[in-house]
Structure 1
Amino acid sequence: MMFAVMAALLVTMLLALVRAFVGPGRYNRILAINNFGTKTVLFVAVAGFLFGRPEFLDIGILYALVNFVAVVAVLRLTHHDDPVGSQNGEDGA
């Protein structure tokens, strides 16, 4: 049963990667990468449970924190690089 869960998570991770490379816009791609990171945390947690390695949860929590900080940083960078705000004379503040 758990191997089926791991296989389903791998499929959703693959779909998130496809969305990240093919996505229609910048924010959809960022969301797909965030989704991939969340699925990776779930995959690590399920693998830790399946193989009897509870220390994998620590790795998953650390990866979730790095994923969150990275997505916030990328969103802040893309917010200041938004061409729509610069066309209206706004400085993005």
Structure 2
Amino acid sequence: MIPVLSIAIAVSLFLLALAVLCAAIRLLKGPTAQDRVVALDCLYVSGMLMLLILGIRFGHHLYFEVALLIALFGLAGSVAMAKFLLRGEVIE
């Protein structure tokens, strides 16, 4: 692997881990439910990006499939939580 690429992967993983930490703090301390929903969105996006970067690093296709599943379930969960916060019910 090219040394520049390995350094970029290490730096990006560190910054994404920092984003996960900040989002986890906001998820626990968030003053409103909307803050917690946004923090949860940030958590699943950061986790998905970390998996994609690890897939590039190790060159295995399984990481990309798991990242796709995380994106799918994260979007469905975000829509359900937003609907619950707006209307108070998920299923009409």
Q: Provide the TM-score with structure 2 as the length reference.
A: 0.82
Length, aligned pairs only: 81
Question: Where does structure 1 lack aligned partners over 5 or more consecutive residues?
Answer: 82-93
Q: What is the correspondence of 1:2-81 to structure 2 with a 5 Å cutoff?
A: 2-81=9-88
Q: Which whole-Å deviations, capped at 9, do the CAs of 1:22-73 have from their partners, x for residues lacking one?
A: 1121111101100111011100000111111122111101110000001111
Cα RMSD, aligned residues only: 1.0
User: Computing the radius of gyration over CA atoms, which structure comes out larger, 1 or 2?
Assistant: 1
Equivalent residue number for residue 87 of structure 1:
none
Letter in 2 for 1:44: L
Query: C-alpha separation between the residues in 2 aligned to 1:52 and 1:4?
Result: 18
Runs of 4+ in 1 over 3 A off after TM superposition: none
Aligned partner of 2:3 in structure 1 is none
The answer to which structure has the higher helix fraction is: 2
Percent of aligned pairs sharing the same letter: 21
